Amino acid sequence: MAVEQLNTGLDALMETSFGCYQLQRYPVRKKTTLKAWDAADEYLLDYLYDNELLHRDVSLLIVNDSFGGLSIPLNHYQPVVMTDSYLSMQGISVNLKNNNIDYDAVTIINSLEAPGSVLDGRSDNGLADVVLIKIPKSLAMLEDQLHRVRASLGTSTTIIAGGKTKHIHSSTLELFNKIIGPTTTSLARKKARLIFSKFDADLVVPQNPHPAAYKLDYLLDGEDMEMISHAAVFSREKLDAGTRLFLDNLPADERYKTIVDLGCGNGVLGLVAAIKNPAANMIFTDESYMAVESAIDNFCAVFGETRGAEFLQTDCLYGVTDNSVSLILCNPPFHHNNAMNDDIAWQMFTESRTALEPQGELWVIGNRHLAYHAKLKHLFGNCDVVASDNKFTLLKSIKI
C-alpha cells in the first residue's frame, strides 16, 4: 500500500495549542471510529505548552508516536521519532503530506537505532533537551526503550511519558525508577496519565535483558534450536501454545516453491517450514522492525550463508508479487497500538488470497472463539480444520 494512495480525506481535525492538523491512521480502513491520536497525546501537548518547555533550538526526541499525534503538531521543533512500527512510520509520512509539511521536519529512526547518533547534530552536547515517550502495552518494550534512550539523557533533560491510565502500573513506574531515575505521576485526565522522570547520572543501571532467548525442542543436527526475540516480539520468552500446535502440523511438500511467514515475529514458523521444505524460497514479513531483525538473526543462526531468504518490514503482504506464493503461514495479531479488532486479520486473509498462486494454500492458527473459519470460507469458498485442541484451531484454505 503506497503512501500516495492514502490521502482519501478520511481524516479528523486535531486541535492543539500548537495548531490544528488533519490526521489519519495508516492504513485507512472503512467505517473505522479510531482516531490517529489519543488523550495521552493531548495531555502531553497541553503540558508542554502550558509549561513553556519548548523553544526554537530545542533537541526533541519522541518515542512511540503512533501516527503523528505528537510529531505533527511539534514539527516546527524538528523532532526525532523512534518507533518500531512500519505502520507508524508510514502514518507519520502520510500526515506530513496531508498537512503540507516538509518531510525533513521529522526524522524517523527505527527501534534498534541509537537516538544519540541523530541527536548529535541537534544539540551542542548530543543529548536530548526534551524526551516524550508514549507508553507501549509491552513492559519488555518499554524496558528496552528506556535502556536505549538513557544514553541520550542529561541532568537538564525533561523526560515526560504519557499513556492510558489502564496501561500505567506500579511496574511501569519501577522501570523508570530503575533505568532513568526518580519518577512521579500526574493526576488522570480523560483516562490518560503523565509520568515525570528525572535523569540520575549516578544510578547503577542493570544490564538490558533484551533480546531474550529460549530453546526450541526441534532438533537440528542433534541439538535444540535457540530462538532469539527482541523486546517487541510476541511470546519472546517461550513458545506459545498456538504456535506449538502449528509447528506440530507444518506441511512439507515439494509443491511449495515459495513460502511466506506472514506476521513472522521471531520467524519460528518460517524457520521450521524452511527446514522441512529445503527447496522452497522463503519470505518473512512483519510490520515490526524488531520482529524482522529477530527473524533474520534466527534464520542466519540455522542456515548461515548456505540459504537465502527475503525479509520485509511492511504492511502485511505489500511488496509480495500477486499470484506468486505457494504457501502462507499466518498467526494473526490481535491488536496494533493498543487497538484490538479483527481488521488486521481480515487484511492478512484478503491479501493472502491475492498473493497466492492458483491452488496455493493459506494456513491460519487462532483461538477457537475468533471464528476465523467463517472469514476464510467467505474469502476462499473453502476452509478445512487441520488440527485443533481445546483452545486453538489450525485452518487451511486453498485458492481455487
Q: Where in the chain is the domain with CATH 3.40.50.150?
A: 3-197, 212-398
3-state secondary structure at position 107: strand
The CA distance from 149 to 180, in Å, is: 9
Alpha-carbon Rg for the chain, nearest whole angstrom, is 22
Question: pLDDT tens for residues 73-115?
Answer: 999 999 999 999 999 999 999 999 999 999 999 999 999 998 9
Residue written as grid cell 544490564: 207
What is the pLDDT at residue 341?
57
Question: Residue 336: is its pLDDT beyond 50?
Answer: no
Question: Residue 10: is its pLDDT beyond 60?
Answer: no
Mean pLDDT of the region 330-352: 78
Q: Residue 131 in contact with residue 156, Cβ under 8 Å?
A: no
Q: Concatenate the DSSP letters of all residues of 312-354 into one string.
A: EESSTTTTSPTT-EEEEEE---SEETTEESSHHHHHHHHHHHH
The CA distance from 391 to 377, in Å, is: 20
Q: What percent of the chain has pLDDT over 70?
A: 94
Instruction: Determine how many CB atoms are found less than 10 A away from the CB of residue 33.
Output: 5
pLDDT level of residue 130 (50, 70, 90 thresholds):
very high
- Give the residue from 309, 325, 236, 234 showing the smallest Cα distance to 271: 309
What is the pLDDT at residue 125?
79
| β partners of residue 214 | 227
Question: Residue 391: is its pLDDT beyond 90?
Answer: yes
The CA distance from 100 to 18, in Å, is: 16
Please name the fold of domain 212-398. Answer: Rossmann fold (3.40.50)
The CA distance from 365 to 360, in Å, is: 17
Q: What percent of the chain has pLDDT over 90?
A: 84
Question: pLDDT tens for residues 239-285?
Answer: 999 999 999 999 999 999 999 999 999 999 999 999 999 999 999 99
Q: Residue 190 in contact with residue 155, Cβ under 8 Å?
A: no
**CA angle, 65 then 70 then 75, to 5°:** 115
What is the pLDDT at residue 219?
67
What is the pLDDT at residue 34?
86
What is the pLDDT at residue 320?
98
What is the pLDDT at residue 6?
41
Question: pLDDT tens for residues 171-227?
Answer: 999 999 999 999 999 999 999 999 999 999 999 999 999 999 999 988 677 788 899
pLDDT level of residue 31 (50, 70, 90 thresholds):
low
Question: Residue 337: is its pLDDT beyond 60?
Answer: no
Please name the fold of domain 3-197. Answer: Rossmann fold (3.40.50)
What is the pLDDT at residue 5?
39
**Neighbouring residues of 235: CB distance < 8 A, sequence distance ≥ 6:** 229, 243, 265
pLDDT level of residue 322 (50, 70, 90 thresholds):
very high
What is the pLDDT at residue 334?
61
Give the mean pLDDT of the chain.
93
Q: Residue 298 in contact with residue 311, Cβ under 8 Å?
A: no
Question: pLDDT tens for residues 139-162?
Answer: 999 999 999 999 999 999 999 999
Phi-psi region of 302 (alpha: psi -120 to 50; beta: other; left: phi over 0): alpha
